[in-house]
Amino acid sequence: MSEVASVLFGREDVRRRVEELGRTIAGDYVGREPVFITVLKGGTMFLADLMRAVDLPVETHFMAVSRYGDAAESMGRVQILLDVDVDLAGRHVVVVEDIVDTGLTLKYLLGVLRAREPSSLEVCALLDKSARRIVPMSPRYAGFDCPDRFLVGYGLDFRERYRNVPDILQVEDMDALKLDPDALVPWLAPA
């Protein structure tokens, strides 16, 4: 179709992998009631599919954060825009993230959550862009390792577009996309 992007992980691959992650988490948390904390907005598609693949009682809450500028400028400083309204002390918390890139956002978030004294604290990320990591961090649960490319779809955006693309796309021509942010609109068409 378009040369601006190509499919990295198709919707069927994503579905299968998310179901596997759900079954693994369900097995690991038998007898407990995990609290999933999802970071808006990118993690929402993943959360919706993941929690339906976990056959245990699961609570879900949301947080929103913003980084100050890019990784280099921000030095990992993060502002919490929306916080959870439950006491996490003694709970089994799983942070559900779309993608771990530099790891700066997650490092900050995990510090904030750890201070609330949960019984356990783990990360479940759909995508792990491990080549870009600045702070050492490996999610306990990870769907796919991915290359150091800009990705969109299944929750991931470029300037708020393309979160609703069912597949995960790898941008091949970032300059073309910046010139024409609508270049990937054809990918929105159903299969």
Query: From the list 22, 34, 42, 139, which residue makes contact with Mg ion (rule: CB under 5 A)?
Result: 42
The CB density around residue 15, as the number of other CB atoms within 10 Å, is: 13
Return the number of the residue (29 or 36) whose C-beta is nearest ligand IMP: 36
Catalytic residues: 101
Return the number of the residue (28 or 144) whose C-beta is nearest Mg ion: 144
Query: From the list 29, 37, 101, 142, which residue makes contact with ligand IMP (rule: CB under 6 A)?
Result: 101
103 contacts which partner out of ligand IMP, Mg ion, none, CB within 5 to 8 A by kind?
A: ligand IMP
Return the number of the residue (28 or 172) whose C-beta is nearest ligand IMP: 172
The count of C-alpha atoms lying within 13 angstroms of the C-alpha of 9, restricted to the half-sphere facing its C-beta, is: 19
Token pair for 80: 């919490």
Token pair for 150: 């800009």
CA distance 72 to 93: 29
Rounded to the nearest whole angstrom, what is the least distance from the CB of residue 105 to ligand IMP in the complex? 3
102 binds ligand IMP (CB under 6 A): yes
CA distance 28 to 32: 9
Ranges assigned E (strand) in 21-69: 35-40, 59-67
The binding site for ligand IMP (CB under 6 A) comprises: 42, 71, 97-106, 129, 150-151, 156
